[in-house]
Amino acid sequence: MNDFQTSAQPQPAAAHPAYGNPSPAQQNAGPVQNPLVADTADIQHMPRVTPSALQARGLELYYGKGGASTHALRGVDFAVGQHGPEAVAVMGPSGSGKSSLLHVLAGILTPNNGSVMWRDEDIAMMKDGARTRLRRSDFGFVFQSGQLLPELSAAENVMIPMLLAKTPRAQAQRRAQGMLHALGLGGMFDKRPGQLSGGQAQRVAIARALVTGPGLVFADEPTGALDQATGASVLQLLTHQTLSRGASLVVVTHDPAVARACTRTVRLEDGIIVSDARHDQQPVGAAR
Protein backbone atom coordinates (compact mmCIF):
# COMPACT_ATOMS: atom_id res chain seq x y z
CA MET A 1 0.00 0.00 0.00
CA ASN A 2 1.19 3.47 -0.84
CA ASP A 3 2.47 5.25 2.21
CA PHE A 4 1.20 8.64 1.24
CA GLN A 5 -2.02 8.09 -0.60
CA THR A 6 -4.46 6.98 2.08
CA SER A 7 -7.62 8.26 0.51
CA ALA A 8 -10.20 5.50 0.19
CA GLN A 9 -10.98 6.37 -3.38
CA PRO A 10 -7.91 7.22 -5.39
CA GLN A 11 -8.74 10.10 -7.69
CA PRO A 12 -7.35 10.81 -11.13
CA ALA A 13 -3.92 12.31 -10.70
CA ALA A 14 -4.79 15.43 -12.66
CA ALA A 15 -7.46 16.41 -10.16
CA HIS A 16 -4.96 16.11 -7.38
CA PRO A 17 -2.23 18.67 -7.35
CA ALA A 18 0.20 17.42 -4.76
CA TYR A 19 0.63 19.35 -1.62
CA GLY A 20 3.11 22.15 -2.01
CA ASN A 21 1.86 23.03 -5.48
CA PRO A 22 -1.26 24.98 -4.75
CA SER A 23 -3.68 25.09 -7.62
CA PRO A 24 -4.38 28.41 -9.27
CA ALA A 25 -7.80 28.34 -7.64
CA GLN A 26 -6.23 28.14 -4.24
CA GLN A 27 -3.97 31.05 -4.96
CA ASN A 28 -6.97 33.11 -5.96
CA ALA A 29 -8.81 32.28 -2.78
CA GLY A 30 -6.89 34.90 -0.85
CA PRO A 31 -3.50 35.59 0.60
CA VAL A 32 -3.13 32.39 2.60
CA GLN A 33 -0.09 32.73 4.79
CA ASN A 34 1.47 29.47 5.74
CA PRO A 35 4.80 30.29 7.27
CA LEU A 36 5.42 26.70 8.34
CA VAL A 37 4.77 25.11 4.99
CA ALA A 38 8.42 24.91 4.12
CA ASP A 39 9.44 22.97 7.26
CA THR A 40 6.50 20.59 7.30
CA ALA A 41 6.76 19.82 3.62
CA ASP A 42 9.72 17.58 4.08
CA ILE A 43 8.37 15.65 6.99
CA GLN A 44 8.52 12.24 5.57
CA HIS A 45 5.44 10.60 7.03
CA MET A 46 3.07 13.33 6.08
CA PRO A 47 0.15 12.05 4.03
CA ARG A 48 -0.81 14.19 1.11
CA VAL A 49 -4.31 14.34 -0.14
CA THR A 50 -5.74 16.57 -2.75
CA PRO A 51 -8.58 18.95 -2.13
CA SER A 52 -12.00 17.55 -2.55
CA ALA A 53 -15.26 19.36 -2.76
CA LEU A 54 -18.39 18.70 -0.78
CA GLN A 55 -21.70 20.07 -1.94
CA ALA A 56 -24.93 20.03 0.05
CA ARG A 57 -28.30 21.11 -1.28
CA GLY A 58 -31.68 21.70 0.34
CA LEU A 59 -30.80 20.17 3.69
CA GLU A 60 -33.73 19.72 6.06
CA LEU A 61 -33.34 18.11 9.43
CA TYR A 62 -35.89 17.36 12.12
CA TYR A 63 -35.19 15.99 15.58
CA GLY A 64 -38.03 13.85 16.88
CA LYS A 65 -41.35 13.15 15.26
CA GLY A 66 -44.78 14.67 15.34
CA GLY A 67 -45.75 17.84 17.17
CA ALA A 68 -42.76 17.88 19.51
CA SER A 69 -40.15 17.79 16.75
CA THR A 70 -37.50 20.46 16.24
CA HIS A 71 -36.82 21.76 12.76
CA ALA A 72 -33.06 22.18 13.09
CA LEU A 73 -32.11 22.76 9.44
CA ARG A 74 -34.55 24.55 7.13
CA GLY A 75 -33.21 24.26 3.62
CA VAL A 76 -29.46 24.76 3.77
CA ASP A 77 -27.30 24.95 0.63
CA PHE A 78 -23.63 24.76 1.39
CA ALA A 79 -20.47 23.94 -0.52
CA VAL A 80 -16.88 23.71 0.60
CA GLY A 81 -13.61 23.17 -1.23
CA GLN A 82 -14.95 23.99 -4.72
CA HIS A 83 -11.99 26.27 -5.38
CA GLY A 84 -9.27 24.49 -3.49
CA PRO A 85 -8.66 24.11 0.23
CA GLU A 86 -10.46 26.59 2.41
CA ALA A 87 -11.22 27.05 6.09
CA VAL A 88 -14.89 27.80 6.73
CA ALA A 89 -16.08 29.09 10.08
CA VAL A 90 -19.70 28.32 10.93
CA MET A 91 -21.06 30.84 13.40
CA GLY A 92 -24.44 31.62 14.88
CA PRO A 93 -26.38 31.76 18.11
CA SER A 94 -26.72 28.74 20.35
CA GLY A 95 -29.34 26.37 18.97
CA SER A 96 -29.13 27.79 15.46
CA GLY A 97 -28.18 24.39 14.04
CA LYS A 98 -24.40 24.64 13.67
CA SER A 99 -23.64 21.23 15.14
CA SER A 100 -26.59 19.75 13.29
CA LEU A 101 -25.25 21.05 9.99
CA LEU A 102 -21.79 19.69 10.74
CA HIS A 103 -23.23 16.28 11.62
CA VAL A 104 -25.24 16.13 8.41
CA LEU A 105 -22.32 17.24 6.23
CA ALA A 106 -20.06 14.65 7.84
CA GLY A 107 -22.50 11.78 7.38
CA ILE A 108 -23.16 11.40 11.08
CA LEU A 109 -26.83 12.31 10.76
CA THR A 110 -29.03 11.61 7.77
CA PRO A 111 -31.03 14.65 6.67
CA ASN A 112 -34.78 14.31 6.24
CA ASN A 113 -34.39 16.04 2.91
CA GLY A 114 -31.59 17.16 0.63
CA SER A 115 -28.33 15.75 -0.65
CA VAL A 116 -24.69 15.83 0.39
CA MET A 117 -22.46 15.11 -2.61
CA TRP A 118 -18.93 13.95 -1.88
CA ARG A 119 -16.65 12.31 -4.41
CA ASP A 120 -19.54 11.48 -6.72
CA GLU A 121 -21.67 9.94 -4.03
CA ASP A 122 -24.62 11.20 -2.04
CA ILE A 123 -23.71 10.68 1.60
CA ALA A 124 -27.33 11.24 2.58
CA MET A 125 -28.31 8.12 0.64
CA MET A 126 -25.59 5.84 2.00
CA LYS A 127 -26.21 2.99 4.41
CA ASP A 128 -25.09 3.28 8.04
CA GLY A 129 -22.03 1.06 7.75
CA ALA A 130 -20.82 2.72 4.56
CA ARG A 131 -21.21 6.17 6.11
CA THR A 132 -19.25 5.08 9.16
CA ARG A 133 -16.40 3.79 7.00
CA LEU A 134 -16.52 6.95 4.91
CA ARG A 135 -16.16 9.15 7.99
CA ARG A 136 -13.10 7.15 8.94
CA SER A 137 -11.42 7.13 5.55
CA ASP A 138 -12.33 10.50 4.05
CA PHE A 139 -12.96 12.88 6.96
CA GLY A 140 -11.14 14.06 10.06
CA PHE A 141 -12.82 15.22 13.26
CA VAL A 142 -11.84 17.48 16.12
CA PHE A 143 -14.32 17.88 18.96
CA GLN A 144 -14.29 20.12 21.99
CA SER A 145 -12.89 17.36 24.21
CA GLY A 146 -13.15 13.70 25.11
CA GLN A 147 -12.38 12.16 21.76
CA LEU A 148 -9.21 10.39 22.89
CA LEU A 149 -9.43 7.01 24.56
CA PRO A 150 -8.01 7.53 28.06
CA GLU A 151 -6.44 4.06 28.28
CA LEU A 152 -4.35 4.55 25.16
CA SER A 153 -1.17 6.56 24.76
CA ALA A 154 -1.08 9.62 22.52
CA ALA A 155 0.62 7.70 19.72
CA GLU A 156 -1.82 4.78 20.02
CA ASN A 157 -4.78 7.13 19.85
CA VAL A 158 -3.39 8.50 16.60
CA MET A 159 -2.78 4.96 15.33
CA ILE A 160 -6.38 3.83 15.83
CA PRO A 161 -7.85 5.10 12.54
CA MET A 162 -4.99 3.50 10.61
CA LEU A 163 -5.32 0.19 12.45
CA LEU A 164 -9.04 0.26 11.67
CA ALA A 165 -8.05 0.66 8.02
CA LYS A 166 -5.83 -2.44 8.38
CA THR A 167 -2.56 -0.53 8.07
CA PRO A 168 0.29 -2.67 9.44
CA ARG A 169 1.12 -1.63 12.97
CA ALA A 170 4.72 -0.65 12.41
CA GLN A 171 3.73 1.61 9.56
CA ALA A 172 0.84 3.08 11.56
CA GLN A 173 3.16 3.74 14.46
CA ARG A 174 5.73 5.44 12.28
CA ARG A 175 3.12 7.68 10.73
CA ALA A 176 1.48 8.50 14.06
CA GLN A 177 4.81 9.51 15.51
CA GLY A 178 5.63 11.60 12.47
CA MET A 179 2.31 13.36 12.73
CA LEU A 180 2.70 14.03 16.45
CA HIS A 181 6.14 15.33 15.73
CA ALA A 182 4.78 17.71 13.11
CA LEU A 183 2.36 19.02 15.71
CA GLY A 184 5.10 19.72 18.21
CA LEU A 185 4.45 16.69 20.38
CA GLY A 186 7.71 14.91 19.72
CA GLY A 187 8.28 13.88 23.33
CA MET A 188 4.71 12.93 24.11
CA PHE A 189 4.26 9.63 22.25
CA ASP A 190 3.75 7.52 25.36
CA LYS A 191 1.81 10.03 27.45
CA ARG A 192 -1.81 9.21 28.12
CA PRO A 193 -4.55 11.81 27.57
CA GLY A 194 -4.90 12.30 31.31
CA GLN A 195 -1.24 13.30 31.50
CA LEU A 196 -1.56 15.94 28.79
CA SER A 197 -2.64 19.54 29.10
CA GLY A 198 -5.84 20.59 27.36
CA GLY A 199 -3.91 22.15 24.50
CA GLN A 200 -1.66 19.12 24.07
CA ALA A 201 -4.68 16.80 24.07
CA GLN A 202 -6.30 18.88 21.33
CA ARG A 203 -3.11 18.68 19.30
CA VAL A 204 -3.19 14.90 19.63
CA ALA A 205 -6.80 15.05 18.45
CA ILE A 206 -5.68 17.09 15.44
CA ALA A 207 -2.98 14.52 14.71
CA ARG A 208 -5.60 11.76 14.86
CA ALA A 209 -7.85 13.73 12.53
CA LEU A 210 -5.15 14.41 9.94
CA VAL A 211 -3.13 11.21 10.01
CA THR A 212 -5.28 9.36 7.48
CA GLY A 213 -5.00 12.23 5.01
CA PRO A 214 -8.67 13.23 5.04
CA GLY A 215 -10.14 15.39 2.30
CA LEU A 216 -12.17 17.39 4.74
CA VAL A 217 -11.80 18.11 8.45
CA PHE A 218 -14.78 18.90 10.69
CA ALA A 219 -14.25 20.67 13.99
CA ASP A 220 -16.97 21.50 16.54
CA GLU A 221 -15.76 24.15 18.99
CA PRO A 222 -12.22 22.73 18.93
CA THR A 223 -10.93 25.43 21.25
CA GLY A 224 -14.05 25.72 23.39
CA ALA A 225 -12.43 24.14 26.42
CA LEU A 226 -9.11 26.01 26.17
CA ASP A 227 -7.93 29.37 27.43
CA GLN A 228 -7.48 32.08 24.83
CA ALA A 229 -3.75 31.84 24.22
CA THR A 230 -3.76 28.04 24.06
CA GLY A 231 -6.86 28.10 21.90
CA ALA A 232 -5.19 30.49 19.49
CA SER A 233 -2.13 28.31 19.01
CA VAL A 234 -4.22 25.14 18.66
CA LEU A 235 -6.37 26.85 16.06
CA GLN A 236 -3.31 28.10 14.23
CA LEU A 237 -2.07 24.53 14.00
CA LEU A 238 -5.44 23.16 12.97
CA THR A 239 -6.03 25.61 10.11
CA HIS A 240 -2.47 25.59 8.93
CA GLN A 241 -1.91 21.84 9.06
CA THR A 242 -5.25 21.12 7.42
CA LEU A 243 -4.90 23.60 4.56
CA SER A 244 -1.27 22.80 3.93
CA ARG A 245 -2.22 19.15 3.46
CA GLY A 246 -4.65 20.15 0.77
CA ALA A 247 -7.74 19.47 2.84
CA SER A 248 -10.54 21.87 3.69
CA LEU A 249 -11.75 22.68 7.18
CA VAL A 250 -15.25 23.33 8.50
CA VAL A 251 -15.11 24.69 12.02
CA VAL A 252 -18.09 25.49 14.23
CA THR A 253 -17.26 28.27 16.64
CA HIS A 254 -18.60 31.03 18.85
CA ASP A 255 -15.27 32.83 18.84
CA PRO A 256 -14.84 35.71 16.34
CA ALA A 257 -11.06 35.29 16.58
CA VAL A 258 -11.44 31.72 15.31
CA ALA A 259 -13.56 32.94 12.43
CA ARG A 260 -10.96 35.55 11.53
CA ALA A 261 -8.36 32.81 11.26
CA CYS A 262 -10.46 31.15 8.57
CA THR A 263 -10.85 32.10 4.93
CA ARG A 264 -14.63 32.21 4.94
CA THR A 265 -17.43 32.70 7.47
CA VAL A 266 -20.93 31.27 7.25
CA ARG A 267 -23.62 32.53 9.61
CA LEU A 268 -26.52 30.33 10.63
CA GLU A 269 -29.73 31.50 12.28
CA ASP A 270 -32.69 29.26 13.04
CA GLY A 271 -31.46 26.59 10.67
CA ILE A 272 -30.94 28.93 7.72
CA ILE A 273 -27.72 30.38 6.32
CA VAL A 274 -28.07 34.16 6.61
CA SER A 275 -24.62 35.17 5.35
CA ASP A 276 -21.60 33.64 3.65
CA ALA A 277 -18.47 35.71 3.10
CA ARG A 278 -14.93 35.04 1.97
CA HIS A 279 -12.32 37.09 3.70
CA ASP A 280 -8.64 37.36 4.35
CA GLN A 281 -7.14 34.96 6.81
CA GLN A 282 -5.79 36.80 9.82
CA PRO A 283 -3.08 35.27 11.95
CA VAL A 284 -4.74 33.96 15.11
CA GLY A 285 -4.27 36.21 18.09
CA ALA A 286 -3.55 39.29 15.96
CA ALA A 287 -6.66 40.98 17.31
CA ARG A 288 -5.36 41.01 20.86
Residues that bind other proteins (CB under 8 A): 63, 103, 106, 108-109, 129, 132-137, 139, 141, 143, 146-152, 156, 159-161, 163-164, 168-169, 208-209
The interface partner of residue 97, options being other proteins, Mg ion, ligand ATP, none and the CB cut-off 5 to 8 Å by kind, is ligand ATP
Q: Is 97 in the site for ligand ATP (CB under 6 A)?
A: yes
Which residues ranging from 42 to 71 are in contact with ligand ATP (CB under 6 A)? Answer: 63-64, 70
- How does DSSP classify residue 50? -
The interface partner of residue 156, options being other proteins, Mg ion, ligand ATP, none and the CB cut-off 5 to 8 Å by kind, is other proteins
The interface partner of residue 253, options being ligand ATP, Mg ion, other proteins, none and the CB cut-off 5 to 8 Å by kind, is none
Which residue number has the CB closest to Mg ion? Answer: 99
As beta bridge partners, residue 82 has: none
| Residues 185-224 as x/- pattern, contact with ligand ATP by CB under 6 A | ----------------------------------------
Annotate 208-272 with DSSP letters as a single string.
HHHTT--SEEEEESTTTTS-HHHHHHHHHHHHHHHHHTT-EEEEE-S-HHHHHTSSEEEEEETTE
Q: Alpha helices of 139-212 — where are they, by DSSP H?
A: 154-164, 169-182, 198-210
Q: How many helices (H) and strands (E) does the chain have?
A: 9, 10
- The torsion angles phi and psi of 83, rounded to 5 degrees, stand at -115, 40
Kindly list the distances between the CA atom of residue 191 and the CA atoms of 180, 182, 188, 199, 272, in Å, as whole numbers in the listed order: 12, 17, 5, 14, 43
Q: Which amino acid is at 156?
A: E
Q: Which is nearer to Mg ion, 144 or 236 (CB)?
A: 144
Cα gap 45→250, rounded to integer Å? 24
Which of 94, 127, 170, 277 is close enough to bind ligand ATP by CB under 6 A?
Answer: 94
Total binding residues toward ligand ATP, as defined by CB under 6 A = 12
| Residues 73-92 as x/- pattern, contact with ligand ATP by CB under 6 A | -------------------x
Q: Is 100 in the site for ligand ATP (CB under 6 A)?
A: yes
The interface partner of residue 70, options being ligand ATP, other proteins, Mg ion, none and the CB cut-off 5 to 8 Å by kind, is ligand ATP
As beta bridge partners, residue 218 has: 141, 250
Q: Alpha helices of 37-168 — where are they, by DSSP H?
A: 37-41, 98-105, 128-138, 154-164
Pairing mode, if any, of strands 264-269 and 113-118?
Answer: unpaired
Q: Which is nearer to other proteins, 23 or 145 (CB)?
A: 145
Q: Is 5 in the site for ligand ATP (CB under 6 A)?
A: no
Q: Least distance (Å) from other proteins to the CB of residue 31?
A: 33
Which of 5, 34, 55, 99 is close enough to bind Mg ion by CB under 5 A?
Answer: 99
Q: Least distance (Å) from Mg ion to the CB of residue 273?
A: 16
> For binding to Mg ion (CB under 5 A), which residues are involved?
99
